[in-house]
Amino acid sequence: MADVVILGAGYAGIRAVKTLSKLAPKGTTITVVDQNAEHEERTQLHEVAAGTVPASKITFNIQQVLPKDVQFLQAKVSKVDVSTKMVILANHAPLRYDYLIIALGFRSEDFGLPGAAENALPLDNVTSAETITKTIEQHVANYKQSQDPKDLTVIVAGAGFTGVELLGELTHSMPALAKKYNTPPIKIISMEMATRILPMFDEKLANYAMDYLKSHGVTMMTGSKITKIEPNAVVYADGDQEKKVEGNTIIWTVGVSGSDVIADSGFKQRRNRVVVSNHLNLDDHPEVFIIGDVSAVMAGDSGRPYPTTAQISTQEGDQAGKNVAAALNGQPLTDFVYKPKGTVASLGSQDGIAQIGKGHKYTGFIAKMLKRVITDKSLLEDANLATMLKQGRWPL
């Protein structure tokens, strides 16, 4: 009898355990470890941060959706000792494993920018998303007394995928918040170092998103290299001059890195991502599989890893589950082959952009419908039909 431990119950971990439980030989012990009791659909965090949906809409209880033969342990992982095949936990006795799947997810990355950690709000989990929406509302509510325009200014640092989806959502929630507290319009400012947003999309689609945000009142400051974050301002370089944009709510969506457990465990890593084999495991420790946001899977001969997305994470989870089952059954392991299914970004409640394959591009309500279908499909596969029917977005 073998012991398999899966660290993390995000997109990659949930998919790995569901696949493995179907294929593992009888008698295999499977244990899932996560520091939270709830799984978070993190591709929807922007909705919680903007205040358009409650956290309960994008979370579900992990234990309730796991296969009956799988054990769940709510505990915080401190590090992994591959030499002794032990997982060290902060609040529980160590766990021994025969096979290990590490799927510990991401955290916000400030790249050491001065003041970012102290003065900007990250968006990397439900707790941070709820902090953002509460902070915005507190400042807006305070405006009646303060008459400080900074209370009515929301700055989003970073116009990548998460930043743009958050901006789109804010264009819908901020007018309602201003009406609630009877204030002047709330100013939304986007600051991005690159001169073009959303490089993962076709340029026409990216321009559509840019035009949408501008037409809905967002001040788009592309080409703005942020140099530091002050308590109530973002400082950036404009040529040889240093300038600042003031606002009492500063949201950080510039980038992410993998869980710090990776570095703490002594793995060879970059930004807490580990380069893995084509089987998604380690060459020197083939019993250890690393997937999702802590994994670096090389994209063909490009010399660069695939970007970290929920889509890739779920496919890696499936493959890791299959390969651990194959090893347990004495069968050969198979290579991971990423099969992209397209990219969709929402722009608030009724709009979006979508790129499916090379020739299928959509904007507007059709793209938003595709986003809702993807969200519901994720709930169905990660949780179950009952959860999808209760929390799904179709129809909306």
So what's the pLDDT on residue 394? 67
Burial of 232 (0-12, 13-18, 19+ CB in 10 A): middle
Mean pLDDT, 10 residues at a time, the chain of 396 residues: 96 97 96 96 95 94 94 97 97 96 94 95 97 98 97 97 97 97 98 93 95 97 96 92 96 94 95 95 97 91 83 96 98 94 92 88 91 85 83 70
> Which one of the listed residues 40, 41, 47, 165 is annotated catalytic?
165
For the chain, helix, strand, coil in percent to 5 are: 35, 25, 35
CA pair distance 25, 326, nearest whole angstrom = 9
pLDDT in tens, 292-331: 999 999 887 777 888 888 999 999 999 999 999 999 999 9
Strand ranges (E), 177-326: 187-192, 218-222, 225-230, 233-238, 241-246, 249-252, 256-258, 274-275, 288-290, 295-296
Q: Which residues contact 395 (CB under 8 A, 6 or more apart)?
A: none
How does DSSP classify residue 307? P
CA pair distance 234, 191, nearest whole angstrom = 9
Q: Are 310 and 382 in contact (CB under 8 A)?
A: no
- Cα 287 to Cα 215, 312, 324: the distances in Å are 53, 21, 8
Quick one: what percent of the chain has pLDDT higher than 70?
99
Known catalytic membership, residue 381? no
So what's the pLDDT on residue 382? 87
CA pair distance 150, 187, nearest whole angstrom = 9
- Cα 335 to Cα 9, 276, 277, 286, 362: the distances in Å are 23, 11, 8, 13, 32
CA pair distance 269, 18, nearest whole angstrom = 28
CA pair distance 28, 279, nearest whole angstrom = 21
How does DSSP classify residue 273? B
Neighbours of 382 (CB within 10 A): 24
- DSSP letters along 82-151, please? TTTTEEEESSS--EE-SEEEE---EEE--TT-TTHHHHSEE-SSHHHHHHHHHHHHHHHHHHHHH--GGG
CA pair distance 293, 308, nearest whole angstrom = 5
